[in-house]
């Protein structure tokens, strides 16, 4: 069940022209990774909508904030070379973060993201990386079970932006009903 530009704009009204840019990329990515039921699509669109500021940001806005500065030297993210924190900042519609995640995502998508991290800023790769992340974290199963808070924790590591995510999820479920 592909999503239409109109449905995407009803769910993410601030996306504006980006909705038309992302519809084919999102439909391709969702199809490839089995995000094909109303429940899965609604949860996925709500989460990528929040993570990307309604499709307006495919690269993490960099301060660096204290949290972002903390990416530097984080072995769990594979950030072992000075400068990795900034170089492998969140990119894509679900904000892939860290050298290790860029390497794993790049391997899955057939892209050299370690040497060309900005590829995740292109709509097709931004959408495909989000669907890859979703799939590798078992989020289709959680979406089928309506476990939206658990999905948020797996994406975010916490519950940042939960209220916005829940509002987008509510809208998406109504739009896709």
CB 151 within 8 A of CB 53: no
Assess whether pLDDT exceeds 90 at residue 1. Answer: no
Tell me what the mean pLDDT of segment 29-47 comes to. Answer: 98
Per-residue pLDDT at 88 exceeds 90: yes
Quote the pLDDT of residue 11. Answer: 98
Topology of domain 66-119, CATH: Endochitinase; domain 2 (3.30.20)
176 vs 136: CA distance, rounded Å: 24
pLDDT at 145 over 90: yes
Mean pLDDT, range 128-144, rounded to an integer: 98
- 121 has catalytic annotation: no
Give the model's confidence band at 173: pLDDT under 50 very low, under 70 low, under 90 confident, else very high.
very high
Whether residue 155 contacts residue 29, with contact meaning beta carbons closer than 8 Å, is answered with no
Single pTM value for the model = 0.95
Cα–Cα distance, 74 to 43 (Å, whole number): 29
pLDDT at 171: 98
Q: Of residues 5, 51, 107, 163, which has the active-site annotation? A: 51
Please give the backbone phi and psi of residue 136, each rounded to the nearest 5 degrees, phi first.
-70, -15
Task: Name the band, by pLDDT with cuts 50, 70 and 90, for residue 104.
Answer: very high
The reported pLDDT for the residue numbered 154 is: 96
Give the position of tokens 């999102």: 26
Q: Domain residue spans in the chain?
A: 5-58+123-176, 66-119
Residue 132 has pLDDT above 90, yes or no: yes
| pLDDT band (50, 70, 90) for residue 164 | very high
Q: Return d(Cα 58, Cα 38) in angstroms, integer.
A: 24
Residue 52: φ, ψ to 5°: -105, 10
Cα Rg of the chain, angstroms: 15
């Amino acid at each position: 069940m592909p999503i239409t530009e109109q449905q995407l704009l009803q769910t993410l009204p601030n996306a504006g022209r980006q909705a038309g840019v992302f519809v084919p990329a999102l439909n391709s990515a969702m199809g490839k990774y089995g995000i094909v039921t109303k429940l899965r699509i609604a949860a996925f669109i709500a989460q990528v909508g929040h993570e990307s500021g309604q499709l307006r940001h495919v690269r993490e806005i960099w301060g660096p904030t204290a949290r972002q500065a903390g990416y530097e030297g984080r072995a769990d993210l594979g950030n072992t070379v000075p400068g990795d924190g900034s170089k492998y900042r969140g990119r894509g519609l679900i904000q892939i973060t860290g050298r290790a995640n860029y390497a794993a995502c790049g391997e899955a998508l057939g892209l050299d993201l370690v040497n060309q991290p900005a590829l995740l800023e292109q709509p097709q790769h931004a959408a495909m990386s989000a669907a890859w992340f979703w799939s590798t974290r078992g989020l289709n199963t959680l979406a089928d079970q309506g476990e939206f808070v658990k999905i948020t924790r797996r994406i975010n590591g916490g519950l940042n932006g939960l209220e916005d995510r829940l509002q987008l999820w509510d809208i998406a479920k109504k739009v896709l009903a």
